[in-house]
Amino acid sequence: MSAPVLSVEAVSVDRGGRRVLHDVSLDVSAGQIVALLGPNGAGKTTLMDAITGRVPLAGGSVRVGGDDLATAPRACRRRIGYAGQEIAVFPTLTVTENVASWAAVSGVARAARTRAVDDVLRLLFLQDLAHRPVRELSGGERRRVHCAMAMVARPPVLLLDEPTVGVDPMTRSALLDHLTQLADGGTAVLYSTHYLHEVEKRAAVVVMLREGKVVASGQADELISRHCTSVIEMTVERGGETRTVVVPTSDAVTDLARLLDGLRADGDRLVGVEVRRPSLEDAFTHIVSTSEVAHGR
């Protein structure tokens, strides 16, 4: 893995005399997608605000492209595209005008601007809305415009806070596909979400927060295998009565064969069987409900 484009080291943030982030560390390299997970109030939005300089640090450091946010804030911010949880668009401007204006602010060359805007509108299914004022759009449509503005300049670092909330499944899939394309082109992506299945499906790197602390980090499949176990659930019948047997397993094929042999020997009849494999949601629930210190870094 190459050197991180975004490096967050032991970042702490205080608000109202209370510490809300505690020594949070994470790295995102060029071409990597990192999903930031956590229950409401875990500190995900605060962390993104800290990375972009919107809130002061009580401790630690943020480096973007080698520059320190404390000493070179403008250089750091120029490398970041950010779509926060609160939708920030110009309601009286059209979709195209919103995205084009942000492309100009972000330094996209005039000769390349029209192509860049058209590309991101197409990828986020906004081309049919291009000439409509944003004030006429639905909440989900406005969020897509908000995300398009952050993506149009193809920044080295892209931060998205809950980008898929309130959008339909087709648009959510298209947005995530575009994130993958940006990462394939070298963008370092950090995004927060409550849709854990989308993270698992894309085998993303995961950082989990709880009460402002990192409680787990690693590949999604690694966290699942580390914190959860598959189970074999069998419904069996004997003498007209049925019962359910649940057996944890690390080798479903071998254990199922053994259990079936035991059923035949006992004279039980198999009514149904299911191998239930744990999901990232299972791992998340276990980690967040039991962890108090950082793991996996």
Label the pairing between strands 4-15 and 18-29. Answer: antiparallel
Query: pLDDT value at position 1?
Result: 53
Helix (H, G, I), strand (E, B) or coil at 180: helix
Cα dihedral 221, 12, 38, 73, rounded to 10, equals -80
What is residue 297's predicted lDDT score, i.e. its pLDDT? 38
Contact (Cβ atoms closer than 8 angstroms) between residue 152 and residue 103: yes
What confidence score (pLDDT) does residue 171 get?
Answer: 83
- The edge-to-edge listing of strands for the beta sheet with 188-192 is 80-83, 157-161, 188-192, 33-37, 205-210, 213-219
Q: Where are the domains of the chain?
A: 6-225, 229-277
Distance (Å, whole) CA 30 – CA 35: 15
- One DSSP character per residue, 252-294 reads HHHHHHHHHHHHHHHT-EEEEEEEE---HHHHHHHHHHH--S-
Exposure pattern of 35-65 as b/e (b: 16+ CB <10 Å)? Answer: bbbbeeebbbbbbbbbbbbebebeebebbbb
What pairs with residue 9 in β-bridges? 61
The pLDDT, as a whole number, for residue 292 is: 61
pLDDT less than 70: residues of the chain: 1-2, 292-297
* CATH superfamily of the 6-225 domain: P-loop containing nucleotide triphosphate hydrolases (3.40.50.300)
216 — phi, psi (to 5°)?
A: -165, 150
- pLDDT, residue 295, reads 41
- What phi and psi, each to the nearest 5 degrees, are found at residue 245? -115, 125
Residues 6+ apart with CB under 8 A from 119: none
3-state secondary structure of 223: helix
pTM: 0.84
